[in-house]
Structure 1
Amino acid sequence: MDPTTTPGHPNRFKMGPDASDPVPSSSPGFGTPARPLRLARVNAPPTKTSILPILLPPATLRPVAFRTFTRKHNLTISSAALQTLAVFVGKNCGSGWREEGLAEKALDEVAKAWKRAGGGVIVDEGKGASLKLILQTLESSMSGGRVVAGKGNAQDGTGRLSALVVDATGRMTDANNESSLSTRAGETEEDDSKLPLHPRHWLKVVDATDLPRLAYNVDKKYFEAHKSKPTLFPPPSRKIALFRDRYNLVYQRLLRNESFQSSLGVAGMPSLQRSSSNLGMQQSYKLTPIANLLGRSGTSHLILGLLSISPTGDLSLVDLTGTVTLDLSHARMIPEDGAWFAPGMIVLVDGIYEEEEMVQGSMLGGNHGVGGAIGGHFVGVSICGPPCERRDISLGTGTRQGAGDVSSSGGFGWVDFLGTGSERAQGARMRRIQEKCIREAAATAVSSNESIESSSPARLKVAILGEVNLDNMKTLDALRKVFSTYSDLALCDRPEAFVLIGNFVQTPIINGGGRAGSIEYKEFFDSLALVLSDFPTLLQHSSFVFVPGDNDPWASSFSAGAASTIPRQRIPELFTSRIRRAFATANNEIDKSHSTEPPGEAIWTSNPTRLSWFGPLHDIAVFRDDLSGRLRRTAITTRLPEDDNEPEDNIMQEAPSQSPSQNAVDLDEANGSKPVINGGASTSTSTTASTNSAATARKLVKTILDQGTMSPFPVHVRPVLWDYASAVQLYPLPTALVLADAEAAPFCMTYEGCHVMNPGRLLPPGDAQIVKWIEYDVLRNRGRVKEERF
């Protein structure tokens, strides 16, 4: 008998590596039975401790949730999410949620899972990560109120939470139970490796009717989506909401400006105190509501209001509290001749209020009249537009942390303005994808032995052609010249997209033309299809975007070429079938088996429209309208005395919000020497004409961007569909804006970080055989006017 075994228990308590149990008998020599004790295995799961669920009020859990989510992870919990978390903690942590710290550990895991899944800054059930799915996954990995390492399918110390992944389509899935829900894209390198890496895969043309309908909530100081369904025949209250939303948007933007924020050092000083010294002291300006002018005759005030024409024909200023007659006969524009001011615009007016001294009937001067109008009039001393706000400031991305992440201070970085994802949810991931796409494109160009230098920067170009009148035979020759110029270039130097902007006919032939007009209009696009068919390489490797004008169907059927309602729909497919056939024929000729490049396509979109490249990184707004001519016709003028050469002592002259605006307008330079105005290459153009064109371009750009909308006019001057008014707003500023104005000369300039371009006419006025267009570099955010003879 083996001396190490116990009699009656052979091999059961055998010592050594072959022993089934390492615990021997208490006394092998005397044959005593084995002990009932067993050593715990190192990897054995602990015994599941029963938890007695409790009813935990959300208010009791709030301090712990605030300490964990807000202070530690910079997240905000909604009331509904707090109630869901209270039920979860009470069920899984029981009475030890506070004393044993179980709740704080569980909430910390929830916060980490929420951020890994790409959830927003507000923890709530919605379009972001699913809180219910996270809690369901976490609950299966808990034992005794704690998250058990190694439980479930994950072995990374976080339980099954690692099974929550984000696939290439931007949907969060649970690999264990195959449940999925929509979420924002993830931020892991593994997910990005499976995505397409051609730049045109990330080009999205957003129709005006597909843009999110957002309105600024004054109480919550945040943007909210309209809950009502849009319609072409909304109630009259929507028209009032249109201008109210515009005013609230400009008002909150103005209060975010540092010139209107009072500091502790000047809190006790009068807000409208004027200083004649040049000490450079920081002043804080205060706005006065119109209703507060009553009983304050002879005092100076600063008012933010909407310029309008009263029923009596007088110019008036309107805000949310009332209306007052405006006298601008002695006002000075700031800057001098630097912007247009027309009815329908929101302006800042500094002046003096004067009450009426005469009594008419039973109504005393100074009381509220019809429509909230107050008696007296406001004598303007100076008038200017509201200061513009840069895109990075609006989104709260002006300051970045050391690791490159977006800071959590201020801004609307979590708002999805285009429906392509917000800056804070997808910005970092899209930047990684953009870098990979550019590196992949450069590697492909080098491997294909294309004539590019290894040190040359990657290019992502868009060709913008304005006023493409297809009923002019010279236009087809000009287009053939432009297409042949790019067709002869290497593949990496060709534009990824061509933007063709109407009017595609010079006169609205659809109006009164009946069926013959429609047939003639279709023949013009058939002629364009023949021209495009001669350049199959462009059709295979580029996207063509068509933006209509006021003369195109079907708006011209009832407007006769006048200003139609905006946003207006795309050109019907009835007229575009031949062009689509040309693209299909060209794409069938290439071998798609080994190519990751998407096929070329023709995209017909609305006016205005948005081009989004790499989600929120590049936002290009395109709008076709003769804005400069409409501004000249409707703008107001001020009459100053000829002998008044001394500057007015008013608070608006030294407003720091104006000097940055003037300095922010920079004309791009061609070859680093001359400003790009009228192409910058025509030697026959006089210096005076070039200067006038530059001044007009500056006025147009400053006027539109300061107003924050593409249509700063009353609805009877430029009709806007009330339920789609958010499609014409320019807040936050896009990275680039195409103002296709056929009445203005071509230009490219940058204002407050927004690059504004006007392609002008494809064929400039005159008999010269010259074609002009704009080539825009998306990565550098710069465009230049190009010119060729044909």
Structure 2
Amino acid sequence: MDTSTPRHSDHFHRTVPDPIPSSSPAFGTPARPFRTTRPNAPPPKTSILPILLPPSTLRPVAFRTFTRKHNLTISSPALQTLAVFVGKHCGSGWREEGLAERVLDEVAKIWKRAGGGVIVEEGKGASLRAILQTLEGSMSGGRVVAGKASADGSGRASSLGDDGRMNTINEGSLATRPGDAEEDDSHKSLWPRHWLKAIDAFDLPRLTYNIEKKYFEAIKAKPTLFPPPSHKTALFRDRYNLVYQRLLRNESFQSSLGVAGVPSLQRSASNLAPRQSYKLTPIANLLGRSGSSHMLLGLLSISPTGDLSLVDLTGSVALDLTHTRMIPEDGAWFSPGMIVLVDGVYEEEEMVKGGVLGGNTGVGGAIGGHFVGISICGPPSERRDLSLGTGPQGSGELNSSGGFGWVDFLGIGSERAQGARMRRIQEKCLRAELDATETTRLKIAVMSEVNLDNMGTLDALRKVFSIYNDLSILERPQVFVLIGNFVRRASISGGGRAGSIEYKEYFDSLALALSDYPALLQHATFVFVPGDNDPWASAFSAGAASTVPRQPIPELFTSRVRRAFAAANSELDRSQASDPPGEAIWTSNPARLAWFGPVHDIAIFRDDISGRLRRSAVNTKPDDEEREGEEAEDTTMHEALDGAMGDMEDHTDMAQQKGTNLGAPSPGAFVARKLVKTVLDQGTVSPFLLTQRPVLWDHGSALQLYPLPTALILADPEVAAFCMTYEGCHVMNPGRLIPEGDVPTVRWVEYDVLRNRGRVKEERY
């Protein structure tokens, strides 16, 4: 008798350990394949049948998502790429279920977070193909699923960083959320100095304005010190195009219906008169129009015959400024190398100098005759928020005027891409300050013409450092800017002047003085900007104007100063100090300080610019009789262009305006107004011919002041110290650290970053 267990019993015993028992063990029914539910598990993948989606069919959805919602423009190749992606991953439900709109919305968000430009195209700012490759690993059923891992199975998804490269972010960050994504910055440092960056002029993006696309493009060619001659022409052409587009954005040059353009720079004094729009005439169009009035925009230049001429992209014409009125009167300097607006009358001549017949064009595009100027003024500057297309004071809100908010001018992220995020970080940093009150400010102490070969300079510096050393950490400046010349005579140039050994000893003495204040070295950043007398440029310039931008002071001479900072930081227990260590930064001239990304842009430039302007300025003072006849028409074109002197606010302490009546500007303040207006209207820190101020052709864009920075430190020792605001840009000049006089005095500027206001300070030592 067979006593063995039946087969079904064996199967029963084999199925007992199964955690999910069979529904019918007696008949050996297999267990039902239940799926274990895991937390945060993605939904089952739904199969999508790919379709062929024409780009023209997807265009309305792309326009509604990219242009209307995100203020972006999509190119045709990018639309083709998106149509292939949507057709493959969304299938036939791209329109009815709204799958395409959600995917395109997520693509636009990632593009903006990656710092891409206003035009969505491959290879501009960010990589569209990399974005779609990232989203492909997070797609399920035509939707972007939160927490869906990429193909590598690491539980983390890839995304684009601000520089357009692939970075890694936490899973779920690609999920579709209403509104813009809020980034988690809790892991970032909450000390304001962590977000300070000194940008060398040679590290700034090399941008050029494309007059056809009306947008900025990056120059891909590698810069060199010996470029071809065509780069010299491009240097002035780019300056002209930049000023020209800025001028056309001004409302006085935008014609409206029912308002005819008038050729005069003057307008009716009646407040009821309609707004006049001005029209620019190319110089080449003056031919055959003798005796007619025109307004020209061109570059003041010196012709080969030695006469003053005006040049634009179409030609040049001889300029007669004998009876020209300056607008505003004696309010700015005009010298060769500047771009100006001239209103006047063109007069042809039967024969002009050089043997060119009137009505013909000569060598270099020069036309016959001459242009008699009636009025001359600089192109009106444009406020920073208008240039970037944001709200007032760079609030980050969109502006109907457009602008270049997506352009990364400093290489740290554009205003549209990083501005809002950096403002949130700034608020967190200010709230995290110990015992933060309304008096807590971000301050910068600026000292210029720090001549270390002067015996009294170290005593003056000790006085300034001792004042701030006695204050608390919150009340001290977090940045100290020391600007050259660090020696009064050109070094490394021979002739019995200071050589390399003596120059290094001067900085060794500075290192000893800094070592007496370890608290400042531990909690502050020191920025050193060279002048024309500092090496190595002074080795061949011998004190004359060297090329700009110029390199920082070599490390050969600054080793002891760096060692002083390292010694001071080693004495502090960094395990209990959360703020970044103090450091010394040696930067170029000019240079930029960026605090919280594009929120605070501070430009620094050291040059004897006022003396060069006085030497080369064109004299355009009319006769007294003509001036009396023009007093009835007191309203000038500059008022029409919203660039009158009334827009300038002088913040210099009245106590410093010695020898003048209360409320009346001193002669020094008057010169300061002319200097600020001249530089900011030109939109460059070097508005001269290359024979007066040499410029490295391939780095000319580093000298541009467009858009206007939030603050400009214009260190000119020939002008008295001042602080004033013009078109929203706060301009400061610290003057000389030790002013001339019998009383030993130290003078510097203390700049409040948050209030965008500077104050000239003076103490006896």
Which piece of structure 1 moves more, 559-568 or 190-199? Answer: 190-199
Q: Quick one: structure 1 residues 138 and 398, their matched pair in 2 at CA, closer, same or farther if it must change by over 3 Å? A: closer
The reply on whether 1:420 has 2:420 as its aligned counterpart is no
The reply on whether 1:638 has 2:620 as its aligned counterpart is yes
The reply on whether 1:280 has 2:278 as its aligned counterpart is no
Match of 1:331 among 317, 320, 324: 324
Match of 2:744 among 769, 783, 786: 769
Q: In the TM superposition, what is the alpha-carbon distance from 1:388 to its structure 2 partner?
A: 0.8
Question: Does the 8 Å contact 1:57/1:86 carry over to 2?
Answer: yes
The reply on whether 1:609 has 2:600 as its aligned counterpart is no
Q: Which residue in the other structure is 1:123 paired with?
A: 120
Deviations, residues 470-510 of structure 1 (Å, cap 9, x unaligned):
11101111111111111111111111011111111111131
Corresponding letter in the other structure for 1:387:
P
Q: Distance in 1 between matches of 2:79 and 2:262?
A: 42
The reply on whether 1:239 has 2:232 as its aligned counterpart is yes
Deviations, residues 65-119 of structure 1 (Å, cap 9, x unaligned):
2233223433221333222212212323446655776544543443455456665
Q: Distance in 1 between matches of 2:261 and 2:554?
A: 60
Q: Which residue in the other structure is 2:708 paired with?
A: 733
Q: Which residue in the other structure is 1:746 paired with?
A: 721
Q: Distance in 2 between matches of 1:360 and 1:205?
A: 51
Q: Distance in 2 between matches of 1:759 and 1:174?
A: 45
Corresponding letter in the other structure for 1:107:
L
The reply on whether 1:712 has 2:717 as its aligned counterpart is no
- Give the secondary structure class of the aligned counterpart of 1:338: coil
Question: Does the 8 Å contact 2:485/2:530 carry over to 1?
Answer: yes
Corresponding letter in the other structure for 2:537:
A
Corresponding letter in the other structure for 2:575:
S
Q: Which residue in the other structure is 2:670 paired with?
A: 695
Match of 2:512 among 530, 533, 547: 530
Q: Which residue in the other structure is 1:481 paired with?
A: 463
Match of 2:578 among 592, 596, 612: 596
Q: Which residue in the other structure is 1:618 paired with?
A: 600
Q: Distance in 1 between matches of 2:22 and 2:267?
A: 93
Q: Which residue in the other structure is 2:639 paired with?
A: 656
Q: In the TM superposition, what is the alpha-carbon distance from 1:61 to its structure 2 partner?
A: 3.2
Give runs of aligned pairs for residues 14-93 of structure 1, distance below 5 A. 48-49=46-47, 51-54=49-52, 56-93=53-90
Question: Does the 8 Å contact 2:482/2:526 carry over to 1?
Answer: yes
- Give the secondary structure class of the aligned counterpart of 1:303: strand
Question: Does the 8 Å contact 2:115/2:164 carry over to 1?
Answer: no
The reply on whether 1:647 has 2:630 as its aligned counterpart is yes
Match of 1:256 among 249, 259, 264: 249
Match of 2:546 among 548, 564, 569: 564
Corresponding letter in the other structure for 1:707:
Q
What is the TM-score with the length of structure 2 in the denominator?
0.88
Q: Distance in 2 between matches of 1:730 and 1:151?
A: 45
Give runs of aligned pairs for residues 78-477 of structure 1, distance below 5 A. 78-94=75-91, 97=94, 102-115=99-112, 120-126=117-123, 130-142=127-139, 146-147=142-143, 152=148, 163=157, 173-174=167-168, 191-266=184-259, 269-272=260-263, 276=268, 278=270, 279-358=272-351, 364-398=357-391, 405-407=397-399, 409-441=401-433, 443=434, 446=435, 455-477=437-459
Deviations, residues 26-73 of structure 1 (Å, cap 9, x unaligned):
xxxxxxxx9xx999999995684451443x443443333223322343
Question: Does the 8 Å contact 1:399/1:407 carry over to 2?
Answer: no
Q: In the TM superposition, what is the alpha-carbon distance from 1:549 to its structure 2 partner?
A: 0.6
- Give the secondary structure class of the aligned counterpart of 2:666: helix
Q: Distance in 2 between matches of 1:230 and 1:708?
A: 22
Corresponding letter in the other structure for 1:64:
V
Which piece of structure 1 moves more, 651-660 or 61-70? Answer: 651-660
The reply on whether 1:551 has 2:533 as its aligned counterpart is yes
Corresponding letter in the other structure for 2:71:
N
Question: Does the 8 Å contact 1:305/1:318 carry over to 2?
Answer: yes
The reply on whether 1:667 has 2:644 as its aligned counterpart is no
Q: Which residue in the other structure is 2:699 paired with?
A: 724
Question: Does the 8 Å contact 2:307/2:318 carry over to 1?
Answer: yes
- Give the secondary structure class of the aligned counterpart of 1:622: strand
Corresponding letter in the other structure for 1:317:
L
Question: Does the 8 Å contact 1:276/1:649 carry over to 2?
Answer: no
Q: Quick one: structure 1 residues 693 and 141, their matched pair in 2 at CA, closer, same or farther if it must change by over 3 Å? A: closer
Corresponding letter in the other structure for 1:272:
P
Corresponding letter in the other structure for 1:333:
M
Q: In the TM superposition, what is the alpha-carbon distance from 1:517 to its structure 2 partner?
A: 1.0
Q: Quick one: structure 1 residues 375 and 101, their matched pair in 2 at CA, closer, same or farther if it must change by over 3 Å? A: same
Q: Distance in 2 between matches of 1:58 and 1:400?
A: 40
Q: Distance in 2 between matches of 1:718 and 1:550?
A: 12
Q: Distance in 1 between matches of 2:315 and 2:84?
A: 49
Q: Quick one: structure 1 residues 408 and 428, their matched pair in 2 at CA, closer, same or farther if it must change by over 3 Å? A: farther
Question: Does the 8 Å contact 1:74/1:408 carry over to 2?
Answer: no
Q: Which residue in the other structure is 2:16 paired with?
A: none
Q: Distance in 2 between matches of 1:47 and 1:689?
A: 78
Q: Distance in 1 between matches of 2:115 and 2:717?
A: 44
- Give the secondary structure class of the aligned counterpart of 2:644: helix
* Percent of residue pairs bearing the same amino acid type: 68
Which piece of structure 1 moves more, 653-662 or 540-549? Answer: 653-662
Long gaps (5+) in structure 2: 1-11, 13-18
How many residues are paired up? 736
Deviations, residues 688-722 of structure 1 (Å, cap 9, x unaligned):
99621111000000000000000000000000000
Q: Quick one: structure 1 residues 549 and 108, their matched pair in 2 at CA, closer, same or farther if it must change by over 3 Å? A: closer
Q: Distance in 1 between matches of 2:301 and 2:576?
A: 61
Q: Distance in 2 between matches of 1:150 and 1:187?
A: 16
Q: Quick one: structure 1 residues 723 and 714, their matched pair in 2 at CA, closer, same or farther if it must change by over 3 Å? A: same
Q: Distance in 2 between matches of 1:44 and 1:75?
A: 32
- Give the secondary structure class of the aligned counterpart of 1:458: coil
- Give the secondary structure class of the aligned counterpart of 1:544: strand
- Give the secondary structure class of the aligned counterpart of 2:80: helix
Corresponding letter in the other structure for 1:415:
V
Question: Does the 8 Å contact 2:381/2:643 carry over to 1?
Answer: no
Q: Distance in 2 between matches of 1:164 and 1:593?
A: 33
Q: In the TM superposition, what is the alpha-carbon distance from 1:135 to its structure 2 partner?
A: 2.6
Q: Which residue in the other structure is 1:677 paired with?
A: none
Corresponding letter in the other structure for 1:147:
R
Q: Distance in 2 between matches of 1:763 and 1:165?
A: 53
Long gaps (5+) in structure 1: 1-10, 12-17, 25-33, 155-159, 181-185, 447-453, 675-679
Corresponding letter in the other structure for 1:695:
F
Match of 1:508 among 490, 497, 510: 490
Match of 1:573 among 555, 564, 578: 555
Q: Which residue in the other structure is 1:5 paired with?
A: none
Q: Distance in 1 between matches of 2:147 and 2:708?
A: 49
Deviations, residues 549-593 of structure 1 (Å, cap 9, x unaligned):
111111111111000100011011111111111111111100000
